[in-house]
């Protein structure tokens, strides 16, 4: 008995089967700040991805800089989770103990106390003048141009309110005049005044609860903003105030391992000893910044920079793990006395507590690389005694406003609430999707207009597909014959899906992905238009597949929420598909009835009925979020669109028509003026056209043609020839005028 591998006598031997030589499928690569290169993404534990992200320092309203980072990380997280199907465990911190928070909380508390005393106008004026002296001294020493400009704006605002109050009080104005001016000065100078109060009385503020009210409020506002932006909440949220015992233990272990030292009640990290060991290296992310004292001092915090504090360190590059609390600062017990955590240690302790000795991804803003993240790496590797605390470091790019640097400390920022008042969360997200997550993004009217137009482009496609799918068809009618147009579109569909995948594998290049999606929509629109032009229905299953794919990708990106299978939700997130499926049958009946009325009205020439049909289309239904599109020779298209969008379109159309009418009237007026000017010119006999030009000519012949210039010189042949042409042309014009007048008579 022969086996299948043995040749059979009398038969040709078949060649062995070999697998096809297909192209290699791209694999996910991420830009790793540790290597400054795109690296193949390989989680440490199979499909499980551990991810820590630096969260906000909550002392003021969240702004578009926060949105830049957290929307970008939300997109990356969703792509890894919902597209690449990783099991992502996402941890984020809230910094609620920090120099900025301490200073702001103290200042707010002291300013509130000051206002509660209800000072008189004279007292407010005197205190503001006193507060301005150290403020102006600081202004004179400021060299940073952006900060100097900000301080000058503050001072100008104070002066604008101060001078009217001074004038009113010198003029002994009535209290009814003085009091509002005093309150205006108090409001305008709150930054200057609160800083002055803090310098005098800040050390007297000792109650820890004063320092928790401010961050608690702004954390709540931050979460509201993230929910409004459709940013997924973290799986674990850690607050510094809740991890002080873990932070103390973390610092104790770093000291025990020989990389930290106590000095005057504070504990510092020994960068020299850490960097000198064979296993470790300080400044992995930005080695060229090591020794940058300005950056290091900013990392330590405004309240922690003093000659005494600097003298406590073995090296200027050493940074605080634990800070001895000064009067006017919150404090917790520790082996080194009353104190509070350093800024960098909080993330190491919290991330270590939740994610252990090594995580797959650590994320944060580009400006956190040094010293914050470099210090995190050093102290965490010192604690865990390893050199792989973070495998992939991801840093989002800066955000600028119309090309200018944005900074909360410079009071040059747009809050998330302000941004959402101008554009929807989806439009903001689309703007971020249209740019690389790791590059600088400029938040401007042009950027947002591009996002709005992209949204509109996609939405019109979805609405058209929905209209195609609503056309009556039995089950067998769904399987329509494919021709060259369908095959061509399907091939393009396949190519675009591959291109989107390749883009997302390339460092989650959403900019490339959404551009491929734009191309797919453009091809689909061309196909649909071609089918309609040929009076043939587009293939339902093909356009539906494309619409489902695009909707799915937008859901992956977080640009669509809800269960609707195709397109953007109608009427807001809460209504979406349920609203459309409920009301569309009634709208179809109305559309069919209107179409019947229009047909009869056109045949019977009843213009009043046609006008009434137009009112339903242009005025009534847009108020209900319904757009009717009339196409000559084709059924009316019914689309459900957000009411606000339709009303905006209606207003824009009205403005365009008004502008068109204005241009038409302007053109008519100009034409009339030209006709009048031409007529006036025609009335003039040729013999009179030069006689009035006495500044040019001195003698004329019997027909009125000039022969000598103003100086009495005879005109040259060339001059005479040019003037003769004008003369003869005027003779012809005047002759036409006389003939026209004769006929009119």
pLDDT digits (tens, 9 = 90+) for 22-63: 788 899 999 999 999 999 999 999 999 999 999 999 999 999
Edge-first strand listing for the sheet containing 441-443 = 404-405, 399-401, 441-443
Instruction: Looking at the structure, tell me whether residues 293 and 373 fall in a common domain.
Output: yes
**Interatomic CA distance for residues 433 and 72, integer angstroms:** 8
**The last residue of a domain, from among 138, 173, 207:** 207
Instruction: Looking at the structure, tell me whether residues 275 and 415 fall in a common domain.
Output: yes
What's the per-residue H, E or C state across 254-276?
A: HHHCCCEEEECCEEEECHHHHHH
How deeply is 695 buried, as exposed, middle or buried, from its count of CB atoms within 10 A (0-12, 13-18, 19+)?
exposed
**Interatomic CA distance for residues 194 and 18, integer angstroms:** 79
pLDDT value of residue 617: 82
- In terms of residue numbers, what domain contains 534? 444-568
The answer to whether the CB of 321 falls within 8 A of the CB of 121 is no
- 446 CB neighbour count, 10 Å cutoff: 10
pLDDT value of residue 2: 47
- Looking up residue 65, the CATH number of its domain turns out to be 3.40.50.620
Instruction: Looking at the structure, tell me whether residues 244 and 148 fall in a common domain.
Output: no
Instruction: Looking at the structure, tell me whether residues 267 and 392 fall in a common domain.
Output: yes
Instruction: Name which residue leads in pLDDT, 407 or 251.
Output: 251
Q: How many residues does the chain have?
A: 745
CB burial of 399-423 (b: ≥16 within 10 Å; e: otherwise) equals: bbbeeeebebebebbbbbeebbeeb
Residue 236 has pLDDT above 70, yes or no: yes
pLDDT, averaged across the chain: 90
Specify the 3-state DSSP secondary structure of 133.
Answer: helix
**Interatomic CA distance for residues 226 and 55, integer angstroms:** 12
**Interatomic CA distance for residues 627 and 625, integer angstroms:** 7
Of residues 567, 540, 535, 524, the one with CA closest to residue 475: 540
- Residue whose entry in the numeric block shows the structure tokens 């809050």: 415
The one-character DSSP state at 113 is H
Kindly tell me the sign of the dihedral angle through the C-alpha atoms of 729, 734, 738, 741: positive
> Which tokens is 404 given?
């200018």
Kindly tell me the sign of the dihedral angle through the C-alpha atoms of 678, 683, 686, 687: negative
Helices (H) and strands (E) in the chain, counts: 23, 18
The answer to whether the CB of 378 falls within 8 A of the CB of 282 is yes
Is 59 inside a domain boundary?
yes
Q: Quick one: pLDDT band at residue 744, thresholds 50, 70, 90?
A: low
Residue 4 has pLDDT above 60, yes or no: no
Instruction: Looking at the structure, tell me whether residues 371 and 492 fall in a common domain.
Output: no
Is 611 inside a domain boundary?
no
Instruction: Looking at the structure, tell me whether residues 284 and 348 fall in a common domain.
Output: yes
Looking at residues 306-314, what average pLDDT do you find?
A: 78
pLDDT value of residue 377: 98
Of residues 598, 594, 467, 622, the one with CA closest to residue 543: 467
The answer to whether the CB of 352 falls within 8 A of the CB of 253 is no
Is 337 inside a domain boundary?
yes
Instruction: Looking at the structure, tell me whether residues 157 and 249 fall in a common domain.
Output: no
Is 522 inside a domain boundary?
yes
Is 91 inside a domain boundary?
yes
Residue 472 has pLDDT above 80, yes or no: no
Specify the 3-state DSSP secondary structure of 24.
Answer: coil
Structural domains of the chain, count: 4
pLDDT value of residue 575: 46
Specify the 3-state DSSP secondary structure of 339.
Answer: strand
Is 117 inside a domain boundary?
yes
Residue 677 has pLDDT above 90, yes or no: no
Residue 639 forms beta bridges with which residues? 627
Instruction: Looking at the structure, tell me whether residues 264 and 390 fall in a common domain.
Output: yes
Say what the pTM is. Answer: 0.79
pLDDT value of residue 689: 85
pLDDT value of residue 307: 61
**The last residue of a domain, from among 568, 584, 617:** 568
pLDDT digits (tens, 9 = 90+) for 568-613: 987 654 444 566 777 777 677 677 777 777 787 788 877 887 788 7
Instruction: Looking at the structure, tell me whether residues 180 and 309 fall in a common domain.
Output: no
Lowest mean pLDDT among 142-156, 167-181, 520-534, 642-656: 642-656
Instruction: Name which residue leads in pLDDT, 386 or 206.
Output: 386
Residue 10 has pLDDT above 80, yes or no: no
- H or E element, residue 461: helix 445-470
Instruction: Name which residue leads in pLDDT, 633 or 415.
Output: 415
**Interatomic CA distance for residues 276 and 278, integer angstroms:** 7
Looking at residues 726-732, what average pLDDT do you find?
A: 87
Lowest mean pLDDT among 130-139, 297-306, 365-374, 546-555: 297-306
pLDDT digits (tens, 9 = 90+) for 188-200: 999 999 999 999 9
Instruction: Looking at the structure, tell me whether residues 230 and 182 fall in a common domain.
Output: no
Instruction: Name which residue leads in pLDDT, 187 or 12.
Output: 187
């Amino acid at each position: 008995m022969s086996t299948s591998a043995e040749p059979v006598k009398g038969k040709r031997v078949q060649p062995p089967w070999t697998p096809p030589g297909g192209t290699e499928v791209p694999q996910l690569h991420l830009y790793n700040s540790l290597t400054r290169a795109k690296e193949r993404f390989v989680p440490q534990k199979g499909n499980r991805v551990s991810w820590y992200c630096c969260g906000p320092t909550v002392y003021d309203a969240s702004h578009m800089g926060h949105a830049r980072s957290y929307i970008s990380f939300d997109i990356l997280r969703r792509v890894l989770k919902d597209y690449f199907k990783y099991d992502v465990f996402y941890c984020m911190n809230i910094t609620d103990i920090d120099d900025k928070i301490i200073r702001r909380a103290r200042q707010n508390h002291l300013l509130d106390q000051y206002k509660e005393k209800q000072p008189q106008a004279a007292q407010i004026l005197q205190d503001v003048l006193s507060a301005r002296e150290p403020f102006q001294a600081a202004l004179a020493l400021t060299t940073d141009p952006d900060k100097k400009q900000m301080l000058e704006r503050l001072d100008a605002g104070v002066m604008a309110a101060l001078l009217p109050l001074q004038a009113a009080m010198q003029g002994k104005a009535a209290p009814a005049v003085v009091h509002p001016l005093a309150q205006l000065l108090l409001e305008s100078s709150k930054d200057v005044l609160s800083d002055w109060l803090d310098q005098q009385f800040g050390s007297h503020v000792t109650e820890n609860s004063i320092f928790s009210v401010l961050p608690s409020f702004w954390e709540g506002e931050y979460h509201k903003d993230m929910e409004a932006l459709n940013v997924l909440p973290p799986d674990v949220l850690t607050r510094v105030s809740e991890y002080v015992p873990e932070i103390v233990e973390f610092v104790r272990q770093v000291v025990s391992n020989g990389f930290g030292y106590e000095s005057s009640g504070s504990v510092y990290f020994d960068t020299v000893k850490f960097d000198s060991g064979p296993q470790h290296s300080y400044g992995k992310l930005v080695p060229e910044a090591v020794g940058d004292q300005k950056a290091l001092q900013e990392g330590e915090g405004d309240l922690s920079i003093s000659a005494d504090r600097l003298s406590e360190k073995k090296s200027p590059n050493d940074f605080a793990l634990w800070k001895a609390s000064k009067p006017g600062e919150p404090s917790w017990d520790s082996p080194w006395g009353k104190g509070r955590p350093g800024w960098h240690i909080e993330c190491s302790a919290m991330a270590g507590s939740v994610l252990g000795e090594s995580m797959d991804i650590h994320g944060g803003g580009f400006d956190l690389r040094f010293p914050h993240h470099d210090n995190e790496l050093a102290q965490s590797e010192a604690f865990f005694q390893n050199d792989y605390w973070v495998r992939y470091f991801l840093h989002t790019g800066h955000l600028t406003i119309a090309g200018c640097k944005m900074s909360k400390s410079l009071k040059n920022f747009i809050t998330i609430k302000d941004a959402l008042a101008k554009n929807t969360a989806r439009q903001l997200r689309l703007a971020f999707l249209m740019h690389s997550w790791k590059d600088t993004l400029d938040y401007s009217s042009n950027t947002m207009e591009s996002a709005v137009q992209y949204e509109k482009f996609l939405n019109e496609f979805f609405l058209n597909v929905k209209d195609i799918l609503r056309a009556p068809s039995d089950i067998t009618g769904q399987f329509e014959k494919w021709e060259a147009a369908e095959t061509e579109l399907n091939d393009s569909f396949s190519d675009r899906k591959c291109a989107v995948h390749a883009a997302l594998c390339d460092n989650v290049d959403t900019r490339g992905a959404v551009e491929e999606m734009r191309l797919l929509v453009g091809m689909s629109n061309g196909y649909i238009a071609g089918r309609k032009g040929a009076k043939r229905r587009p293939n339902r299953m093909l356009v539906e597949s494309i619409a489902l794919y695009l909707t799915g990708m937008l859901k992956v990106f977080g640009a669509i929420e809800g269960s609707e299978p195709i397109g953007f939700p109608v009427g807001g997130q809460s209504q979406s598909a349920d609203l459309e499926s409920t009301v569309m049958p009634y709208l179809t009946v109305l559309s069919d009835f209107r179409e019947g009325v229009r047909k009869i009205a056109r045949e019977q020439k009843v213009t009043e009925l046609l006008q009434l049909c137009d009112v339903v289309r242009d005025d009534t239904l847009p108020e209900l979020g319904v757009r009717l599109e009339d196409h000559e020779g084709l059924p009316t298209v019914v689309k459900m669109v957000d009411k606000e969008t339709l009303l905006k379109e209606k207003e824009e159309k009205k403005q365009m028509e008004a502008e068109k009418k204005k241009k038409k009237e302007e053109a008519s007026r100009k034409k009339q003026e030209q006709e009048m000017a031409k007529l006036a010119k025609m009335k003039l006999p040729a013999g009179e056209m030069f006689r009035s030009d006495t500044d040019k000519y001195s003698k004329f012949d019997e027909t009125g043609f000039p022969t000598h210039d103003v100086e009495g010189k005879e005109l040259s042949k060339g001059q005479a020839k040019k003037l003769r042409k004008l003369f003869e042309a005027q003779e012809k014009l005047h002759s036409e005028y006389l003939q026209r007048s004769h006929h009119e008579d």
